[in-house]
Amino acid sequence: MSKNLVVQKFGGTSVGTLDRIRKVAERVARTRAEGKQVVVVVSAMAGETDKLLGMARALCESPARRETDLLLSSGERISAALLAIALQAAGCPAISLTGRQMGMLTDSSHTRARIIQIDAERVRRLLRDDHVVVCAGFQGINPEGDVTTLGRGGSDTSAVALAVALESEICEIYTDVKGVYTADPRIVPNARKMSRLSFDEMLELASLGAKVLQIRCVEFAKNYNMPIWVRSTFDETDPGTLICEESPDMEQPVVSGVTYAKDQSKVTIKGVPDQPGIAAKIFCALADEGISVDVIIQNVSAEGHTDISFTLPAAHIRETMPVMERIAGEVGAREVTSDATIAKVSIVGAGMRSHAGVAARMFRTLSDHNINIQMISTSEIRVSCIIQQKHLEEAVRALHDEFQLGEDARAEPQATAAGERRKAI
Amino acid sequence: MSKNLVVQKFGGTSVGTLDRIRKVAERVARTRAEGKQVVVVVSAMAGETDKLLGMARALCESPARRETDLLLSSGERISAALLAIALQAAGCPAISLTGRQMGMLTDSSHTRARIIQIDAERVRRLLRDDHVVVCAGFQGINPEGDVTTLGRGGSDTSAVALAVALESEICEIYTDVKGVYTADPRIVPNARKMSRLSFDEMLELASLGAKVLQIRCVEFAKNYNMPIWVRSTFDETDPGTLICEESPDMEQPVVSGVTYAKDQSKVTIKGVPDQPGIAAKIFCALADEGISVDVIIQNVSAEGHTDISFTLPAAHIRETMPVMERIAGEVGAREVTSDATIAKVSIVGAGMRSHAGVAARMFRTLSDHNINIQMISTSEIRVSCIIQQKHLEEAVRALHDEFQLGEDARAEPQATAAGERRKAI
């Protein structure tokens, strides 16, 4: 493990203007002045990816994924080059590397590629030569040499993967919030920032819509036990949130946070013949298209037919419906419907493993607020309910209160994150 | 030679908006529908390169050239991906390639790299598979795998080099003007579009500031005898201008065109000891920095000292002055001054080779208008004068009249450009 090396990732808001790029450069230069080797991973400037994607979609309803990757990857190349230039202006020897140059080899699933390996030899050489290495996040190349991207928020994954490849001690993720909260502060005013939580908890939070970190980045961090320190780019004094392995001395509240996912759609195939293999047929077809589904329920069969519903991100509904129409025809189902008025609310907590009745308490709370539960899904440390979107904010607030997560309800642990960080590693 | 293949290059204005990208896609699709294999080379969307460069310069007075290349190359990648997407939307199988993917290998002179070779195997394979291949112009990679750019207007060079590598019959350059004119129509209202001119004439015109084609592109075309057909993107009926080898049946006016270069600066080193090797020292130092100078004059020596003046594009003055200050110190010169109020006006014509007195006629015309000539430079088919910038437009108009280049002064040859094109090849 390289004690002297740190990987710092800066998100789109952090490099959103030239002024902010200058500030980031100063911060990176300070870290280097403290004697650290620094590898920086950057996202595209805020709004850039959406702008590029908007242009592609204006030209073609479903732009080819290979060309979309080439298009979008420009965003991170631009911010990497600009940050390297700003660092040089600050007297800091810096060099910018593309996905290819940083050795980020991925598979060929354009727009959602998975990392195969990182050949970080060039990064290591540049570090030995005393450079700050600024890497374009979000992108890699496939074995054919074509540009790929890792999917939305993929720069987090780039950063953690690079931290692992370089045997860094920690991966610092700088963002426009101060850390991970018990709930979205825009919805729950008294939401509390957590000083520390486990990979598993963060994994559930990330997969459920907490926008702070991309789920794959947390998976990666968990698999390789790479601590992630989420911090604010703009508030250097705030200790942020440390995400690391669960340790016996870690506080384990029954519920750590309430989270939600808004942009969800529900697809229902009605009148499916109740025969073995039908569900497999449906979900294999979706998997073949690279579409991930979330919650699945199958109704009790009536007269040899049943209904199957599942949820998925609303963004994938356009590619999903033609697949479902085809499958419905093949299996003799009656019809396929979709509903975009749903949302998912979830409670997450490592403490659930050892506490019974948490789910029941959640259901009762929603029921007390006259909120109907359409679907339920659970994991070891999470309970999720699909509800009508219009009830979402009320549900989040009610659950946050019920499990006493607010600032007023529970004191922040005394230890600073920095102190805990030393303990954790 | 591949009779069925055409390389079409579209400039920044031609792909400046999504609507224009759609129109370019339609035009390319039509060429393909006529049974041609089409390779397209694109520039960055109009304004994009300046925007990126402006950001880099806001961060650092002299941004590192390697990072500048990575930054600027994004512009062409974006327009290439967008055009490929627009072509796909128009039902045309298309794929976008970066400089690397199109096999554009250059040397390592960042921001002004020279092409070493093109390995167009992937382009050829894609053409065989019936794709339209959209290549990002202006960029390549050096042997280390870093992104390079070919200098301003380099996309023209990319296009001609690719046409040569693919043994295309012709390279079509689509731009926002109808062709090459006898003078800048903004300055000379009766300027005439030339239907045809020789590589040599175009080379002089390009090097002297006619913005239609980059000089290196014409050099390349001349060296490999690749005809360039300059045409308007927006007016499909106009026959444009064909640039090809001089042929015996080609009209050879004494003067073909009047051209000018506005953004020039003059540097003067005063009181240089008049010893052998001083000029070599000065100009080798500039060459080492990759700075090209244009006109050079050395005054008659007085008391063992002399003055040396040279002109160069104003954009390079910032890098030039420190070099000159250093050299002035080393050789014991008195001082270095620069003057940004100069401009260059030139007359060009293949017919000069066989006509005497053309230069004298030019000097007399300028003198008749009370325009003082500061420096003079000539080639076989060109005479250039450095004058004060404020006299520039008057000088251009006066020379255009003197050599009877206007629409009213001489009839356009009868043959259409298309007819001439067939003849020329």
Residue of B nearest to A71 (CA): B78
Domain B5-245: what homologous superfamily?
Answer: Acetylglutamate kinase-like (3.40.1160.10)
How many angstroms separate the Cα of A321 from the Cα of each of A142, A291, B132?
A: 29, 11, 31
Choose the closest CB to B78 out of A74, A82, A88: A74
How confident is the model at residue A299, as a pLDDT? 76
Note the helical H segments in A268-391.
278-288, 317-331, 358-368
The residue count for chain A: 425
Alpha carbon distance B56, B46 (integer Å): 18
Indicate the pTM of the whole model.
0.79
pLDDT at A424 over 90: no
pLDDT, tens digit, 9 for 90 and up, residues A47-63: 999 999 999 999 999 99
Flag if A18 and B58 touch (Cβ within 8 Å). Answer: yes
Q: What confidence tier does A164 reach under pLDDT thresholds 50, 70, 90?
A: very high
Q: What are A302's two structure tokens?
A: 């009536």
Closest in B74, B85, B86 to A77, CB measured: B74
Q: Which residue on chain A is closest to B96 by alpha carbon?
A: A67
User: B122: burial class by Cβ within 10 Å (0-12, 13-18, 19+)?
Assistant: middle
pLDDT at B262 over 80: yes
Asked if CATH classification 1.10.1040.10 holds for the domain at A258-402, the reply, yes or no, is no
Q: Do B88 and A64 touch (CB under 8 A)?
A: yes
Please give the DSSP secondary-structure letter assigned to residue A187.
T
Asked if A16 and A47 count as a contact pair (C-beta separation under 8 A), the reply is yes
Closest alpha carbon within chain B to A19: B59
As a whole-number percent, the residues of chain A with pLDDT over 70 amount to 93
Element (H, E) at B313: strand B305-313
Q: Which residue of A has its CA nearest to B71?
A: A78
Chain A positions contacting chain B at CB under 8 Å are 18, 21-22, 52, 55-56, 58-61, 63-64, 66-68, 70-71, 73-74, 77-78, 80-82, 84-86, 88-89, 95-96, 98, 100-101, 145-147
A153 phi-psi bin (left φ>0, alpha ψ -120 to 50, beta other): left
Residues B317-363 have pLDDT tens digits of 988 999 999 999 998 899 999 999 999 999 998 888 777 788 889 99
**Span A358-398, pLDDT tens digits:** 888 999 999 999 999 988 888 888 899 999 999 999 999 99
Distance (Å, rounded) from C-alpha A280 to C-alpha A283? 5
> What's the number of CA atoms in the CB half-sphere (13 Å) around residue A214?
21
Write down the domain spans for chain A. Answer: 5-247, 258-402
Measured between beta carbons, the chain B residues lying within 8 angstroms of A63 are 85, 88-89
Distance from CA of B93 to the nearest CA of A (A): 10
Please list the residues that pair with A376 across neighbouring strands: A385
Q: How far apart are CA B310 and CA B268, in angstroms?
A: 7
Angle in degrees, CA A193, A198, A204, rounded to 5: 85
Between β-strands B241-244 and B228-232, what pairing exists: parallel, antiparallel or unpaired? antiparallel
What is the average pLDDT across B365-389?
A: 91
Range among A138-142, A403-407, B258-262 rated most confident: A138-142
Instruction: Find the CB nearest B22 among A59, A78, A96.
Output: A59
**Structure token digits, residue A168:** 């860094």
Residues of chain B in contact with residue A74, where contact means CB-CB under 8 angstroms, are 74, 77-78
Regarding beta strands A241-244 and A228-232, do their DSSP bridges make them parallel or antiparallel, or are they unpaired? antiparallel
Contact A82 B61 (CB under 8 A): no
How far apart (Å, rounded) are the C-alpha atoms in residues A214 and A375?
24
Across the interface, whether the CB atoms of B84 and A67 are under 8 A apart is answered yes
**What is the CATH T-level fold of the domain A5-247, as seen in this structure?**
Carbamate kinase (3.40.1160)
8 Å CB contact of A100 and B145: yes
Which CA distances in Å does B293 have to B6, B264, B269, B296? 36, 10, 14, 8
Q: Which residue from B minimizes the CA distance to A53?
A: B82
Pick among B17, B60, B119, B148 to test the A interface (most A CBs inside 10 A): B60
Q: Residue B67 is nearest to which of A56, A66, A84, comparing CB atoms?
A: A84
CA distance to partner chain B, nearest, from residue A175 (Å): 22
Distance between CA atoms of B320 and B309, rounded to whole angstroms?
13
A77-127 pLDDT tens trace: 999 999 999 999 999 999 999 999 999 999 999 999 999 999 999 999 999
Please list the residues that pair with B244 across neighbouring strands: B198
Q: Which chain B residue has the Cα nearest residue A55? A: B18
pLDDT of residue A419: 36
Nearest residue, CB atoms, B67 vs list A22, A58, A81: A81
Q: Name the closest residue on chain A to residue B59, using Cα atoms.
A: A86
Q: Which of A63, A86, A147 is closest, CB to CB, to B85? A: A63
Token digits of residue A363: 């259901």
Instruction: Assess whether pLDDT exceeds 60 at residue B418.
Output: no
Q: Does residue A412 register a pLDDT over 60?
A: no
Would you state the pLDDT for residue B423?
35
- Structure confidence at residue B380 (pLDDT): 83
- The beta-carbon neighbor of A18 closest among B22, B59, B89 is B59
CB contacts of B64 in chain A (<8 Å) are 84-85, 88
Tell me what pLDDT residue B248 has: 66
Q: What is the ipTM of this complex?
A: 0.77
Q: In whole angstroms, what is the distance from residue B21 CA to residue A56 CA?
A: 11
